[in-house]
Structure 1
């Protein structure tokens, strides 16, 4: 996350240069091509394709509140 925040000023500067040099349509086309190339590279990467599944743990999730829980709170707060 820190790396992504550090690159934001550089990305804004690059977008400004693209807008100045190519105009809005050209800038969007260049950025779309960069995004497509990134997606293709990530899809072709064996590290991404063979990544282990994320652990699924249901015991760390907070309990769900129901409407009956809300009604009980409303009744007890009325006094």
Structure 2
């Protein structure tokens, strides 16, 4: 293509939407499971370690498929 006498190329952007979006607390077992899912050919998997509240918020807004959370139990203080 030419614009004002200069040649330029139009490049097509290829952006893939993730098949699975995980948001929430960091968990070693979940990290391993998500890695295995990636290994089975489910690509791309988007992971956002943003904490329990952030994960629940994105899940509620429909921006995440899964949310990892840690809840506090006042009865056991855990």
TM-score strictly above 0.5:
no
More strand by share: 2
Q: Which has the larger radius of gyration?
A: 1
**So what's the TM-score if we normalise by structure 2?**
0.23
TM-score by length of 1: 0.23
